[in-house]
Each structure stands twice: as structure tokens, then as C-alpha cells.
């Protein structure tokens, strides 16, 4: 994969396939794998190269006939300022408001608590198959898809670079992860922390109903403390002032400083007992999921449903039901 590492020639499908074949045959050593990941994470390749790399992975995945019509996914690229786990909270709120959710996610690539870290603490298991995902979705209205939705090559890369940590050299994998997961949902909401990545990510989103969300704060989610831009079939802004939910600051979106309080804070967030700014941001993302998935006509009605699911206890009750089943 010299074309990726040194960027002296175009990235072509054949060279990608040859690399993945060698990786599967254990003919790629740690130095070569680490060089590839480090080069990708240091600077995003051009959109054509990223598309070629991603397609070379997607074409290798086994085919399946599963579909989750009407379901949505919410997952960010990671990076940006540290906040509470907004996307996971929004997933529960949206599901409690009647929007089917199949969520993917990752562990934190740096400090903080990623969605999978949080689910571990909540005692919520990831699904291990499409069948199990469908069962969870039918039972709870929400499911958290496990690693089976990602190309096996990612696991092989992680094992090959050991003892190096993917959190150190694999930042690119987190950024592209939302586009590698094979989750057959109707729509996806993806926050993008670095606008420089937008050209490549928009190319990956082409032909799919994916809303890419950015803001000047660099948060990888919609926020109620800044104007957001959504890039989908069209580009539009989401101004919290126009929705009547503005106020507060980025500091209000941060999680607890005490690691032992993460679960309590998360459940309080679902119950509307955290800062009003954080609750508004969670509900804004839940509303966007409802609109993107075709369950609400606009953000105003979506927000109404989301705030109602928080106020009447449905969101927290759903989380507790899922937690009790493991």
C-alpha cells in the first residue's frame, strides 16, 4: 500500500485487494500495517483514494438479506471536544419516541467514554448477528450492533499491529467507521468533528440517506449551543434559536468529571435531570433521527416527541428495561 503511505500515485482497487489478501494470509507484518494506519490517520487521503479503500473492504463482506426498514443509526466520527455520550442518549430517546434504532459505535479513541465503553458500564450487550439484532429491535425498539457488522480486516489489522494500540495509530478507522458498518437501516445521522474530512465523507455517503452534521465547535453531533450544518441530499442549517432551544455553552454538554458517576449522569440525562442544555442537545439529535428516518415531518414536531419521551420517563424506562435484560 505504498500509494497510501507515500501518496506518490493513485490508490487503485487491485493494490487494495492484494493488501487485504496478504493480511488474511498473515503476510503483512506489524511494521507495514502500522505504517498504513499511521499514514491514514496523519492526513485523510483524497476523496477518490478513500472511496477506493472503503469499497475494497465493503466488497469483501458476506452478503445477507436482512433489512431493518424505518430504522435509523446515529454514530459520530469521534474527535472534537469531550462531551457526554450524546449519540447513545439520543438513540434511547428516539426509540422511546417510537423511532426504531440500530446503533453502531466504538470505544473511545482517546480520553472519555465511547458508546461501547458506556454500554459496558450499563451492562448492555452488543448483538452478535443480524438475527439477534432483529430480535432486540422487535423487543425493545432499539439494538446495539456488535463488531460483526464491520469488515474482519479491521480486527486483523488491530491484531497485526500489537502491541501498538489502535487508539494511538488507528484514528482513521474511527473516522471512517460509520461508513464501514454494514447496518441495513433506512437513514443515518453522523456527526463530523473535522470539516476537512467532509469531501471524503460526502463521497462515501453518496447514494445513501446519511445526514453529516458539523458545527463551529467541532462537536461530532448536533448541538443546541451553536448553529449546525447538515449535509445530506441538500445542505441546510439547524439553528437552535429558531427552534427555541438555544442557551448554555459547550461546558454544559460535558460528562461528569468523576468516572464513577458516568452511569448515573447518563440515566439522569435520559430523565431530564441533567443540565437543560444537555437535554436539549440530546432531544435535538433524537428529533433529527426521527426526521431523517421519515417518522416526523420536521424538527419542531420531532423535538416535541423527544422532549415528551424524556418528560414522561419513557426514555429512562427503556434504558432500564434494556439494562435489565443485559
pLDDT of res. 215:
97
Judge whether 65 lies within some domain: no
Whether 167 and 284 map to the same domain: the answer is yes
* Whether the predicted pLDDT of 111 surpasses 60: no
Whether 299 and 168 map to the same domain: the answer is yes
* Whether the predicted pLDDT of 3 surpasses 90: no
Question: Do 73 and 101 meet the contact criterion of CB atoms below 8 Å apart?
Answer: yes
Among residues 14, 10, 149, the alpha carbon closest in space to that of 73 is found at 149
142 band by pLDDT with thresholds 50, 70 and 90: very high
Whether 113 and 190 map to the same domain: the answer is yes
Whether 94 and 49 map to the same domain: the answer is no
Question: Do 36 and 1 meet the contact criterion of CB atoms below 8 Å apart?
Answer: yes
The torsion angles phi and psi of 176, rounded to 5 degrees, stand at -90, -15
Whether 114 and 177 map to the same domain: the answer is yes
Q: Could you give the number of structural domains in the chain?
A: 2
Judge whether 64 lies within some domain: no
Last residue of a domain, one of 59, 84, 105: 59
Judge whether 31 lies within some domain: yes
Among residues 323, 306, 192, 220, the alpha carbon closest in space to that of 267 is found at 323
Facing residues of 187 across strands?
72
Structure confidence by residue, pLDDT tens digits, 13-52: 999 999 999 999 999 999 999 999 999 988 899 999 999 9
End-to-end Cα, the chain, rounded Å: 42
Rg of the chain on CA atoms, in Å: 19
CATH number at 39 reads: 1.20.970
pLDDT of res. 110:
53
Residue 312 has which C-alpha cell? 414522561
CA distance 87 to 30: 34
Whether 13 and 97 map to the same domain: the answer is no
pLDDT of res. 209:
96
Among residues 22, 4, 97, 137, the alpha carbon closest in space to that of 308 is found at 97
Of 64-68, 73-77, 143-147, 254-258, least confident by mean pLDDT is 254-258
169 band by pLDDT with thresholds 50, 70 and 90: confident
pLDDT of res. 109:
61
Whether 31 and 99 map to the same domain: the answer is no
Domain coverage including residue 12: 1-59
Whether 118 and 36 map to the same domain: the answer is no
CA distance 74 to 189: 5
Judge whether 208 lies within some domain: yes
Last residue of a domain, one of 59, 93, 108: 59
85 band by pLDDT with thresholds 50, 70 and 90: very high
Judge whether 67 lies within some domain: no
Judge whether 66 lies within some domain: no
Judge whether 135 lies within some domain: yes
Whether 25 and 135 map to the same domain: the answer is no
Whether 213 and 176 map to the same domain: the answer is yes
* Whether the predicted pLDDT of 326 surpasses 70: no
Helix spans in 141-239 (H) = 152-161, 166-169, 171-180, 198-205
Mean pLDDT of 272-285: 97
Judge whether 38 lies within some domain: yes
Whether 41 and 139 map to the same domain: the answer is no
**pTM for the full model?**
0.95
Question: Do 184 and 67 meet the contact criterion of CB atoms below 8 Å apart?
Answer: yes
Among residues 205, 234, 182, 183, the alpha carbon closest in space to that of 191 is found at 205
Last residue of a domain, one of 59, 86, 106: 59
CA distance 257 to 261: 8
Whether 34 and 182 map to the same domain: the answer is no
CATH number at 158 reads: 3.40.1030.10
Mean pLDDT of 201-223: 96
Amino acid at each position: 500500500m505504498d500509494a497510501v503511505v507515500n501518496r506518490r500515485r493513485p490508490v487503485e482497487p487491485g493494490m487494495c485487494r492484494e493488501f487485504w489478501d496478504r493480511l488474511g494470509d498473515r503476510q503483512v507484518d506489524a511494521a507495514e500495517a502500522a505504517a498504513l494506519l499511521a499514514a491514514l490517520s496523519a492526513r485523510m487521503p483524497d476523496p477518490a483514494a478513500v472511496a477506493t479503500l472503503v469499497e475494497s473492504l465493503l466488497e469483501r463482506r458476506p452478503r445477507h438479506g436482512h433489512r431493518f426498514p424505518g430504522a435509523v443509526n446515529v454514530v459520530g466520527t469521534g474527535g472534537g471536544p469531550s462531551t457526554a455520550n450524546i449519540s447513545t442518549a439520543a438513540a434511547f430517546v428516539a426509540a422511546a419516541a417510537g423511532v426504531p434504532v440500530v446503533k453502531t459505535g466504538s470505544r473511545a479513541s482517546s480520553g472519555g467514554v465511547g458508546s461501547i465503553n458506556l454500554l459496558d458500564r450499563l451492562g448492555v450487550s452488543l448483538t452478535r448477528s443480524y438475527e439477534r439484532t432483529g430480535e432486540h429491535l422487535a423487543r425493545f425498539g432499539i439494538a446495539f450492533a456488535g463488531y460483526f457488522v464491520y469488515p474482519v480486516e479491521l480486527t486483523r489489522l488491530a491484531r497485526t499491529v500489537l502491541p501498538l494500540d489502535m487508539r494511538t495509530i488507528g484514528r482513521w478507522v474511527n473516522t471512517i467507521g460509520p461508513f464501514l458498518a454494514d447496518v441495513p437501516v433506512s437513514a443515518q445521522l453522523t456527526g463530523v468533528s473535522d470539516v476537512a474530512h467532509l469531501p471524503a465523507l460526502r463521497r462515501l455517503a453518496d447514494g445513501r440517506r446519511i445526514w453529516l452534521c458539523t458545527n463551529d465547535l467541532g462537536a461530532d453531533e448536533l448541538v443546541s449551543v451553536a448553529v449546525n450544518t447538515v449535509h445530506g441530499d441538500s445542505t441546510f442549517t439547524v439553528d437552535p434559536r429558531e427552534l427555541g432551544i438555544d442557551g448554555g455553552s459547550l461546558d454544559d454538554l460535558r460528562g461528569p468529571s468523576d468516572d464513577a458517576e458516568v452511569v448515573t449522569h447518563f440515566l439522569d440525562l435520559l430523565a431530564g435531570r441533567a443540565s437543560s442544555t444537555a437535554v436539549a442537545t440530546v432531544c435535538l439529535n433524537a428529533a433529527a433521527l426521527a426526521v431523517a428516518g421519515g417518522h416526523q415531518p420536521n424538527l419542531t414536531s420531532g423535538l416535541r416527541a423527544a422532549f415528551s419521551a424524556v418528560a414522561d420517563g419513557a426514555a429512562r424506562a427503556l434504558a432500564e428495561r434494556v439494562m435489565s435484560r443485559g
